[in-house]
Structure 1
Amino acid sequence: MTEQQGAGRRVVSPAQTTASVRTRGLERPPRSRYAVIGSGWRSTVYLRLAHLLPEVFEATGVLTRRSESTERIDRDFGVRTHGTVEALLAADRPDFVVLSVPWPVTPELTRTLVAAGVPVLAETPPAPDLDGMRSLWADVGASGLVQVAEQYAFMPLHAARLALTREGLIGTPGSVQISSTHLYHVVAMMRAFLDVGREPTAVASRTFTAPLVDPITPQGWTHDLEQKRARTILSTIDFGGDRMGLYDFTDGQWWNPVRPDHLTVRGATGEIHDETVVRMLDATTPVTSRIERAATGIGMNYEGLDLTHLSFEGRPVFRNRFAGAALSDDDIGTAELLARTGAWARQEGPAPYPLADGMHDHHVGIAIEQAAETGEVVRTGEEPWTAG
């Protein structure tokens, strides 16, 4: 559609959209350069972000040994592939390397990269089990070169809720209830909302089954409305100091549209439940407000469909630094993680989610499953990574 066909309305191209986003006062993060090891579904997220935001991210290369992956990566992203770690690093030294490989492979590649002095962003979890984590920590923990790819706290709605919680809007937080993703991801979010370190925990779990349809999978819509038995784990996590978490996860919940995400954080003077905030305005006035999403591309807006910010009572509490690329919430969270990892690797910013945190949260996640299997309270205590 031309400008004339648009009855005088300005039709915005993708390039113009990016330019218009900058006029909103948003600053793009400094450019980060990373290599990727792995060629599965999650790996393509990092390549796609570099493709969509070349002024912010550059994928310097990909390590894969599968010929079909080499052809696909070259065709879809134009990124050079390599067959060894040495070749990947020699071709174009990145700020850091993203590890997106199967769990058993992650520890060995982490050791290899740390030995080469390369900062690492390892997909979760950093090792499959407790013994594997202890061994990996003994080898690389002191290096300070490893971050873990935990993006959930950087997703727009979670980031907005965290901002409101941390400014004291609902008073001192005492509990968090999450029904969303699984295990270590949820533990990481709980600790963020409760401002909890790597202290010991006590975990109690129960499992239940109930009928549930499964209309969509990672492969697409199933067109199947047959009810199948699905397991739900309910767990309480006692973090100590009058702080607790309630974990509620049903098998396949990541994809199932009839099991949407829910998060409640309760504080001494109010609570945040999904997008609703209840708080005491003064000693006799409880008030209810909402976190609101603002997006372009709706109605007569021609800037393209994109999230711009989230607001609370008329003020922004989250701004999308990557507006103009039409990213999903998960992609925005991953982009923020990559930007912060790049800043950390260049010694320009703090660590976004260090290896010690990833190990602790996975340890608590393991305890959730152990408590479900045994019916007993499982405690996590002092480990090599819990100090500090």
Structure 2
Amino acid sequence: MSGFAIVGTGWRAEFFWRLAAELDDLDCVGVVSRSKKDLPVPVFGSLDECLARRPDFVVTATPWAVTPSLVTELAERGVPVLAETPPAPDLAGLRALWAAVGATGKVQVAEQYTRMPAHAARVALVRKGVLGEPTRVDVSSTHQYHAVSLIRTLLGVGRGRADVRAVRTIARLTDPLTRDGWADPAEVKDAATVIATVEFDGGGLGLYDFTDNQWHNQLLMRRILVRGTLGELRDNDVVRLAAPKTIVRTEIVRRQTGYDLDLDGFDTDHITFGDEVLYRNPYQGKRWNDEEIAIATLLRDMGKWVRGEGPEPYPLADGIQDHRIALAIEEAANSGLTVRVDDEPWH
């Protein structure tokens, strides 16, 4: 069993203590908060008071501007850290954070997207070589560093150099849903779309496409494409050259219980490709959504790492590189110029 603490009490922080309560190998020992809170876990008024409980690691679910100094303090005190994304707000902050703690090996980043069931299944399919060597990934679903993480993971590219080009356009769009729920009435308003290409040195092209509030606006389709030397994946549909003169089309199928007369309850069971299981839900029976499954998996992977039982969940260098490219996308969209992501210390 691993015990962890959280600094922060916001929307993201709640995921961590709520999910940990359902896991038998993780325990949230408490939360650090400047103000008094009525929470289902102990609340500490200071970091020192919290660390006296000797947590195995600390989750920093804090504002962007606060995170770098907090991560630095914890790493310098020898405490493993799981830092919410991004680990620093700007390029100067990323470089300063790496200079301060990069060599400690104490910091991981809470990048959960590749652990979401559908994405985890796609990653497994690509790594099996079904599409041959991946050459292009298009992501239109989430923003900035999350999208870059998906692109880099599916392409299998490292933290090297890249050229980024981008354009931003504005168009009218109905916005019926936000994190707070349904808009009443739904408004038609301006929404910005950023489309970017990320051309990685050594091969591999990423296409980034994000529209304001695309996470919550159900009028916008989510799209993902992975092209390889032997075929292409589009969302859940795969076409490939399976043998000479033999083009095969196969669907990635998610088995979801609880529909119609299935009385087992609403839950994700597994995801298959033909007769091969790409992903199996490790939390069957908990009725968690994909975000909850991904965060619980990340927490458990962090616990295994600090116990010496598993690999690094998501190294700081990867989280920094994701946001470095995301910043380049914004810069290219603002300037209309190609932005070069050059060699950095974390490469």
**Aligned counterpart, 1:101:** 62
- Written as runs of structure 1 = structure 2, the 5 A alignment for 1:136-155 is 136-155=97-116
The equivalent position to 1:79 in structure 2, one of 41, 49, 56, is: 41
- Note if contact 2:26-2:303 (Cα within 8 Å) is conserved in structure 1: no
Q: Determine what percentage of the aligned residue pairs are the same residue.
A: 47
The equivalent position to 1:336 in structure 2, one of 285, 297, 308, is: 297
C-alpha separation in 2, matches of 1:174 and 1:50 = 38
**Aligned counterpart, 1:218:** 179
The equivalent position to 2:20 in structure 1, one of 47, 50, 63, is: 50
- Written as runs of structure 1 = structure 2, the 5 A alignment for 1:186-201 is 186-201=147-162
2:211 counterpart of 1:242 = no
Could you tell me how far 1:346 is from its partner in structure 2? 1.3
Q: Secondary structure at the match of 2:203?
A: coil
C-alpha separation in 2, matches of 1:369 and 1:257 = 24
C-alpha separation in 2, matches of 1:163 and 1:300 = 31
The equivalent position to 2:11 in structure 1, one of 25, 41, 56, is: 41
Which runs of 5 or more structure 1 residues have no equivalent in the other structure? 1-30
**TM (normalized to structure 1)?**
0.87
Q: Secondary structure at the match of 1:215?
A: strand
The equivalent position to 2:194 in structure 1, one of 230, 233, 248, is: 233
**Aligned counterpart, 2:78:** 117
Amino acid across the alignment from 1:62: V
Q: Deviations over 1:143-183 (max 9, x none)?
A: 00000010000100101011110110011110000001111
Could you tell me how far 1:242 is from its partner in structure 2? 2.8
The equivalent position to 1:63 in structure 2, one of 13, 32, 51, is: 32
- Note if contact 1:151-1:333 (Cα within 8 Å) is conserved in structure 2: yes
C-alpha separation in 2, matches of 1:226 and 1:237 = 33
Could you tell me how far 1:235 is from its partner in structure 2? 0.2
Amino acid across the alignment from 1:332: I
Q: Secondary structure at the match of 2:34?
A: coil
- Written as runs of structure 1 = structure 2, the 5 A alignment for 1:146-185 is 146-185=107-146
**TM (normalized to structure 2)?**
0.97
Which runs of 5 or more structure 2 residues have no equivalent in the other structure? none
Amino acid across the alignment from 1:333: A
Could you tell me how far 1:305 is from its partner in structure 2? 1.4
Q: Secondary structure at the match of 1:349?
A: coil
Could you tell me how far 1:80 is from its partner in structure 2? 0.4
**Aligned counterpart, 1:255:** 216
C-alpha separation in 2, matches of 1:304 and 1:246 = 38
C-alpha separation in 2, matches of 1:48 and 1:61 = 12
- Note if contact 1:232-1:249 (Cα within 8 Å) is conserved in structure 2: yes
C-alpha separation in 1, matches of 2:59 and 2:5 = 6
Amino acid across the alignment from 1:340: D
Q: Secondary structure at the match of 1:34?
A: strand
Could you tell me how far 1:299 is from its partner in structure 2? 2.9
Amino acid across the alignment from 1:87: E
Could you tell me how far 1:237 is from its partner in structure 2? 0.2
**Aligned counterpart, 1:25:** none
- Note if contact 1:32-1:338 (Cα within 8 Å) is conserved in structure 2: no
C-alpha separation in 2, matches of 1:265 and 1:179 = 12
Could you tell me how far 1:38 is from its partner in structure 2? 0.3
- Written as runs of structure 1 = structure 2, the 5 A alignment for 1:347-362 is 347-362=308-323
- Note if contact 1:201-1:381 (Cα within 8 Å) is conserved in structure 2: yes
* Structure 1 residues 239 and 254, CA gap change in structure 2 (3 angstroms): same
- Note if contact 1:49-1:57 (Cα within 8 Å) is conserved in structure 2: no
C-alpha separation in 2, matches of 1:56 and 1:154 = 18
Amino acid across the alignment from 1:265: V
C-alpha separation in 2, matches of 1:80 and 1:251 = 37
C-alpha separation in 2, matches of 1:150 and 1:63 = 22
Q: Deviations over 1:68-113 (max 9, x none)?
A: xx11x1xxxx2100011111111x2222110000001001111111
Q: Secondary structure at the match of 2:66?
A: helix
C-alpha separation in 1, matches of 2:165 and 2:23 = 46
Amino acid across the alignment from 1:268: T
**Aligned counterpart, 2:234:** 273
- Written as runs of structure 1 = structure 2, the 5 A alignment for 1:294-313 is 294-313=255-274
- Note if contact 1:184-1:362 (Cα within 8 Å) is conserved in structure 2: yes
Structure number with the higher strand fraction is: 2
Could you tell me how far 1:232 is from its partner in structure 2? 0.4
**Aligned counterpart, 1:24:** none
C-alpha separation in 2, matches of 1:184 and 1:89 = 30
Amino acid across the alignment from 1:132: G
Could you tell me how far 1:298 is from its partner in structure 2? 2.5
Q: Give the greater-gyration-radius structure (CA).
A: 1
Amino acid across the alignment from 1:144: G
